[in-house]
Structure 1
Amino acid sequence: MPGFDRSTAADQRFSVNLSMLFTELPLLERPAAAARAGFTAVEMWWPWTGTPTPERSELDALRTAIEDAGVRLTGLNFYAGRLPGPDRGALSVPGEESERFRANVDVAAGFAGSLGCTALNALYGNRADGVDPAGQDAVALDNLALAARAADRIGAVLLIEALNAPESPRYPLVSAPAAVEVVEKVNAATGLDNARFLMDLYHLAMNGEDLPAVIDRYTALTGHVQIADSPGRGAPGTGSLPLADLLGRLTRAGYTGLVGLEYKPGGPTSDRSFDWLPPEARVAR
């Protein structure tokens, strides 16, 4: 891709999000496609958007597809309602949605743990009509504590993500400080210290944040990084974000984790969207 320094990418290691890339293929074919493209680590949103508790046969089929492909599942979202779209989440919505999230916690953690997954992402959830925001926040904290304890049982971190206001206007965590505040509340509530910030540079850029300042201030609390260029949410080099510089800054700030590719491929097949990425960077440490 024009406009991206491949040498900087070679210093990082990347995972590929199978809910954004390789979506031209059925779910069970995506892990093998990622492996053919040279990736050894994959992540995904909760694949069964209609249910928090899919049949065991569906869980087993996806587990087998991941294992047979020889890739490692490194990140998984808890159930968050129907994605993509204006991310609404479930955990802070009182009533049925909250109960669906709670029913999903052990299912998601059990599935992730069986594959050695080390990060579980919990989308906070949109503000609901007619519900006191403080009440939603109380429900959210209870559910995030439940999720953090489940993540701890499998040796994983719980990720809290800031989204962006233009695309998710009812989502309350639309800045790095807002997400980090929730991270700190969850850690205080559980005493486990396994909640971490998910630093998605695309969402933060869409919010107009000072990305170098975010990196300098919050890298120590960051459990995972995701990228897409902006505008457009395409591959690096398709927009105007200085992603090579930002990734270099992350390295200098001490970030050693994976960088998740969570962008739109911009073509009929996803494998053509990785020209910017050196083959050695697709192999997770």
Structure 2
Amino acid sequence: MRRKRRVWESGLKLLGFVAITVLTLFPLYWMINVSLLPEKEVIRSIPHLFPSPAVSTFKSYVEILTKYEVPRYLLNSIVIVLSASVITLFSSFAVAYALAKYRFRLRNFTQYFIIWLVTLPWVVYVLPIFIITSRLGLLDSHILMVLLYGFSGIPLFSWFALPYLYSFPNELIDAGRLDGCSEWGIVLRIVMPALRNVLIALFVLRFVWAYNDLLYSLSFTFHRAKMVMPALLEFPGYLDIPFAKMAAGGFLAVLPIIIIVIVFQKYVVSGLVGQTFK
């Protein structure tokens, strides 16, 4: 009876895994399938379930890479989000380290203030930031977008990093102080190497969330610092919707995320799940 129950449990787990995998990968597959079709084949009554060699073409990719400024906007997204993710990671880690390892008068207030900042919607910042940056002449600039994405993630990722730093052994920090290490030396030489997987996991999460954001990129960029996600919204015309071009642009836009997640997958899993100190 127990063996039969285990077989059923294993079968249900396998079925759930297959269902989640299909639901996750099918939109990506369909986007690739549509991007390889001519526009007239996309809207046919009987859709192509597989890329047919007879009609498949890379025309949509060629057009968006030559007639549109997708490569420039894609580079803008990668540069801005990478720089902002580094700022978020180190700033939030410093805040979390101070809260976890130091005792000061406003420590509890600071923690509650971080929670309040996390719960506050980003949209409430848009109008004040727009007014300030327009008067400073910073609209549609790379530095503005880096600062926006860099500092807007500090509260949330400080909160994410707190449990790992609370569990980090104080004995290792005290040993570093006895060896003559400064506080920055302790952070850079002891704490950060020990929490490498956590840092990589938080970096990947921040990159993905900032890369997919539309609020700031739509509100503060127009051309020079425009990112790839808002650029894809400009593909539909007044009288037509180029589904194949939009699918090709969407695939190119998500390609950096796919590469980063595949490369750092093991660090994300071990960092968010298995990194503990006892």
Higher strand proportion, which one? 1
| Shared fold (TM-score, shorter chain, > 0.5) | no
**Structure ranking higher on relative contact order (CA contacts 8 Å, 6+ apart):** 2
Query: Based on CA coordinates, which of the two structures has the bigger radius of gyration?
Result: 2
